């Protein structure tokens, strides 16, 4: 079964008219996605058309370094 792994973007505010999800990866059945950011309705349409499952990853903001510590 194909799975599409996504997480919410970190720099998008609520109500902003920009795609809210970042596509992290795709597993199985040779599905190619040519964009990095997508809207929820776009993800749902792709999943329904291909029979894929959408997996929402946690976006807690606790990375492994490289960013500024506050």
Q: Each residue of 50-66: pLDDT tens digit?
A: 899 999 888 666 655 44
Sheet of strand 21-27, all strands in order from the earlier edge strand to the far edge: 37-38, 21-27, 3-8, 53-56
Rounded to 5 degrees, what angle do the CA atoms 62, 65, 67 make? 85
Residue range 5-16, pLDDT digits in tens: 888 877 666 676
In which band, very low, low, confident or very high, does the pLDDT at 68 lie, cut at 50, 70 and 90?
very low
Pairing type for strands 53-56 and 37-38 reads: unpaired
Q: What is the mean pLDDT of the chain?
A: 77
Taking residues 10-39, report their average pLDDT.
77
Measure the CA–CA gap between 20 and 53, rounded to whole angstroms. 18
């Amino acid at each position: 079964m194909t799975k599409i792994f996504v997480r919410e973007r970190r720099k998008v505010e609520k109500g902003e008219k920009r795609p809210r999800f970042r596509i992290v990866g795709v597993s199985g059945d040779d599905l190619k996605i040519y964009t990095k950011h997508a809207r929820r309705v776009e993800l749902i349409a792709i999943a329904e058309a291909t029979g894929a499952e959408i997996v929402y990853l946690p976006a807690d903001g606790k990375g492994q370094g490289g960013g500024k510590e506050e």
